[in-house]
Amino acid sequence: MTVNLINELATFRKDDHYHPEVDISKILNRYYPKSVAGLVQGMSDTIAAFYGILLHHARNLGGAGMPDALSRSLMYALGKEKATGVSAMYPDLERNARGIGEVAIAVIFMASPEYNFSISRYSAEEVTFVLGGQDRYHRAARQLGLSNLLQWPVVLPFMEAICDVIAPEWTISCNEASINNGSECNYAFRIHLRTEIHPLPDIQPGMRPPFYRPPDTKLKAAGKYIEIETASIKEFSGNHFADLLQICISGIAWNTNRLCPAEEDQYMLGSKLRVFRTGAFLTDTRCRVVIENMTIDKRRHSSFIRLFGENGEMIYFAEFDYQMWGKQVFCRKFAALRDTAAITADRNILLPVPVRINFDDPFRYEAIIPAVDKSLCQGHFDGYPVVPALLLFKILCIESEKWIQDIVAPAADKNPVLDSIAIFPQQMMQAGVFYRVTVTVHQASAQLFKFVNTVTGIEAPETVLLCVEFDWEI
């Protein structure tokens, strides 16, 4: 079979030239695949290895959250490219669930030989199928110890991109996903119409304005996902990125209440927020946010935020871990913070500006954060005037922008972009109280600066209340 295969593929090798000492027959007999199946399997193994090695280096460079962010961005971009090619080649393709299913089958036939299909429904309105066989991506990730860092199936963003190109009114969801240690998979997919719904103003009583901030546009919900259309990215540049995160977390709160309705008010307490920039963008790029909610147990939840540009490329990926506390438990747990005094809203009150108290070394200094007025926290947790971590992130962002102006770019001709963010709340922080922040700045390159902010109490500097890290690319 090797000879026949060599002859069939001769067109690719017709321009090769070998030194007289090269025994090409020996090399071909030793290394050339014995069959078409062997050739295809070898190519599949190479793709899987490339995928695994790429994610391995992503983890080393960007931490534990980067492999999944890169994988999702890569899969979406690949799915979009494949679907665009098929759509251009066959303009009469059905623009419905069946058309999406046809493209999904075609691209997997062409590039993923280890998957197999079991299609149970195939209509214009709905397609359901199970993808089984060997998951080469899981095999590669497992061999490199990355499988626990990825959300399976990793091909879901690939399928989502096909939907967005072929028939944007349709979406795809994975209703069941199982995979064993041998990378044998069983993924149940459903292609169906999107559902549009409006946010209800009081659906998350524990996150009312200003920190429960649903978008003005419609929300699209499908399964555990919601989609939000937002404004141009320039509306959220610099420290205003906190406003975008506020909208996203409000969407998560809304979606959690939709998926896990409770009999009493629920209060969202963030445990960890990590954000990674995964793509480039222009200042006038309009954004689309896709949020995926995951339930870990009755109280603990995790959500993934993907920010896409106009052309479907992923710009940012975020992971938000949080807990949902019922009103009774919350009130009992934080009774010491209860304050029923009336708060007068005043739009003229500004965010406090950190006061540097030790700036001999600008790369490691301390500052005092003046008391945050209770009116700025109004509506976060009514009757419990605590400072939201997002508000402190914004305050620290403004301080870092001032640092960049003072130390790096006095001419104010730079436009820094947030490259990554990590927020780790440790304790509730009361409003109306002064805090101390220790700022350490690491210069990774001429353009990249990491700010590490450790917030403590004035009287108890050994007790860490909040850790905030973010990278600016200038």
Burial class (CB in 10 A: 0-12, 13-18, 19+), 168: exposed
Q: Are 396 and 250 in a shared domain?
A: no
Last residue of a domain, one of 329, 352, 383: 329
Q: Are 163 and 42 in a shared domain?
A: yes
Burial class (CB in 10 A: 0-12, 13-18, 19+), 182: exposed
Q: Are 81 and 164 in a shared domain?
A: yes
Residue 14 lies in a domain: no
Domain interval for residue 449: 338-473
The predicted pLDDT at position 345 comes to 66
Long-range pairs of 218-221 with CB within 8 A, sequence gap ≥ 24: 219/251, 219/254, 220/194, 220/195, 220/196, 221/194, 221/195, 221/196, 221/197, 221/255, 221/258
At residue 13, the 3 state secondary structure works out as helix
Q: Are 419 and 320 in a shared domain?
A: no
Residue 40 lies in a domain: yes
Length of the chain: 474
The predicted pLDDT at position 204 comes to 42
Helix 36-62 vs helix 66-89: crossing angle, to nearest 10: 140
Q: Cα 405–406–408 angle (5° rounding)?
A: 65
Residue 220 lies in a domain: yes
Q: Are 278 and 417 in a shared domain?
A: no
CA-based nearest residue to 273, from 313, 321, 315: 321
The CB density around residue 394, as the number of other CB atoms within 10 Å, is 20
Residue 30 lies in a domain: no
- CATH number of the domain within which 456 lies: 3.10.129.10
Q: Are 292 and 397 in a shared domain?
A: no
The predicted pLDDT at position 205 comes to 39
- CATH number of the domain within which 175 lies: 3.30.1380
β-sheet with 184-193: strand ranges across: 115-122, 127-134, 184-193, 170-179
Q: Are 250 and 381 in a shared domain?
A: no
What are 351's two structure tokens? 């965010």
The predicted pLDDT at position 410 comes to 64
Residue 23 lies in a domain: no
The predicted pLDDT at position 119 comes to 94
The predicted pLDDT at position 347 comes to 65
pTM of the model: 0.61
Last residue of a domain, one of 131, 164, 193: 193
The predicted pLDDT at position 275 comes to 94
Q: Are 45 and 182 in a shared domain?
A: yes
Q: Are 121 and 174 in a shared domain?
A: yes
Residue 160 lies in a domain: yes
pLDDT tens per residue across span 273-321 = 999 998 888 777 888 899 988 887 778 888 999 998 877 788 899 999 9
Q: Are 223 and 362 in a shared domain?
A: no
Last residue of a domain, one of 329, 360, 389: 329
Domain total in the chain: 3
The predicted pLDDT at position 383 comes to 84
Q: Are 44 and 164 in a shared domain?
A: yes
Are residues 364 and 442 in contact, defined by beta-carbon separation less than 8 angstroms?
no
Burial class (CB in 10 A: 0-12, 13-18, 19+), 144: middle
Residue 312 lies in a domain: yes
At residue 130, the 3 state secondary structure works out as strand
Residue 182 lies in a domain: yes
Q: What residue ranges of the chain have pLDDT lower than 70?
A: 1-5, 195-212, 214, 216, 345-347, 379, 410-414
CA-based nearest residue to 53, from 157, 144, 142: 144
Q: Are 63 and 180 in a shared domain?
A: yes
CA distance 436 to 140: 46
The predicted pLDDT at position 94 comes to 92
